[in-house]
Amino acid sequence: MAEIIDGKKISQDIKDEVKDKVAALKEKGVDVSLAVILVGNDPASTVYVGNKKKACEYTGIRSLSYELPEETTEEELLTLIDKLNNDDTVNGILVQLPLPKHIDEDKIIRGISPDKDVDGFHPESVGRLSIGEKGFVSCTPAGVIQLLKRSNVELTGAECVVIGRSNIVGKPMSMLLLRENATVTVCHSRTKDLREVTKRADVLVVAIGKPEFIDDSYIKEGATVIDVGIHRKGEGKKLCGDVDYEKVFPVAGKITPVPGGVGPMTIAMLMNNCYEAAVMQNDLS
């Protein structure tokens, strides 16, 4: 039977640590701040942005909110980002995705200064991660590393398998595990005989976007299973992940639940990235 990795508790610990670090910076006269930009009124994005602002309030980070209408042009958005890039009182810039279809997301991400790229989506941040240089790391995979480390999961030499190759999760996840000296395999929709690969994993990170896809037949006994997925299931709209929790729980060594596993870590790591941005911009590191 698996030990549950409590993402709610670990994310709370991280937010408390950030709160203390932010307060210490304030003593030195540095006020940490995050600009959050939301374009349009997608209901899920509105909830996410609300949660980010709440976390800022909790940790003592000043949040500046820009809620722009759906019709905002790409040029208007780039102008705002440019203004924030040049504003020394703003440490981090976050543009909530997805953006309306008429706006080119890649162009917007590239418009954010890499020094303020607290989401870690800018190609420079991604490049830095891949060559092992200091830079911002995408919050969800950074959160997974914290879950593993704070649950005493040995990564050096471990067989780690990542399912999913997205720019936001799968690719940075594999780079981070490599940085921890794991042996890393990345699987995706075209992988032949997925079970044969996942059965080797000491640590399995699942980010495929298919509800309850991974059952016990994919798991090596005693493996650590990290579920990055989040879906609403059936009529009752109960939350579930990419992993069939009931089936995997008895064979795994450690497992993250949904909700309360990876989910809360993303915002905690965003808060930490904002703190790091302020440290870097004020030459305090």
Q: Does 97 bind ligand GUN (CB under 6 A)?
A: yes
Smaller CB separation from ligand GUN, 224 or 266: 266
Collect all residues with Cβ–Cβ distance below 8 Å to 44 and sequence separation of at least 6. Answer: none
DSSP single-letter state for residue 103? S
Separation CA 67–CA 65 (nearest Å): 6
Separation CA 179–CA 144 (nearest Å): 13
- Block residue for tokens 């890649």: 106
Choosing from 15, 96, 244, 254, the catalytic residue is 96
Please identify, among the stretches 24-32, 90-98, 234-242, 254-262, the one whose residues bind ligand GUN according to the rule CB under 6 A: 90-98
By CB under 6 A, name the one of 11, 33, 63, 96 that touches ligand GUN: 96
Q: For residue 136, give Cα distances in angstroms to 151, 169, 268, 269.
A: 23, 14, 14, 10
By the 8 A CB rule, do 215 and 207 touch? Answer: no
Q: Does 139 bind ligand GUN (CB under 6 A)?
A: yes
Smaller CB separation from ligand GUN, 97 or 279: 97
Q: Binding-site residue total for ligand GUN (CB under 6 A)?
A: 7
> What beta strand segments (E) does the chain contain?
3-4, 33-39, 62-68, 92-95, 159-163, 183-187, 203-206, 224-227, 231-233, 238-240, 254-255
Q: Does 271 bind ligand GUN (CB under 6 A)?
A: no
Q: Does 117 bind ligand GUN (CB under 6 A)?
A: no
Smaller CB separation from ligand GUN, 195 or 232: 232
Choosing from 15, 21, 52, 171, the catalytic residue is 52
Q: Does 64 bind ligand GUN (CB under 6 A)?
A: no
Q: Cβ 69 to ligand GUN, closest distance in Å?
A: 18
The 3-state DSSP class for residue 69 equals coil
Confirm whether 96 is a catalytic residue: yes
Q: Cβ 273 to ligand GUN, closest distance in Å?
A: 11
DSSP single-letter state for residue 70? T
HSE (side-chain half, CA atoms, 13 Å) at 209:
8
Q: Does 180 bind ligand GUN (CB under 6 A)?
A: no
Confirm whether 52 is a catalytic residue: yes
Q: Does 94 bind ligand GUN (CB under 6 A)?
A: yes
The residues that are catalytic are 52, 96, 119
Contacting positions for ligand GUN (CB under 6 A):
94-97, 119, 139, 266
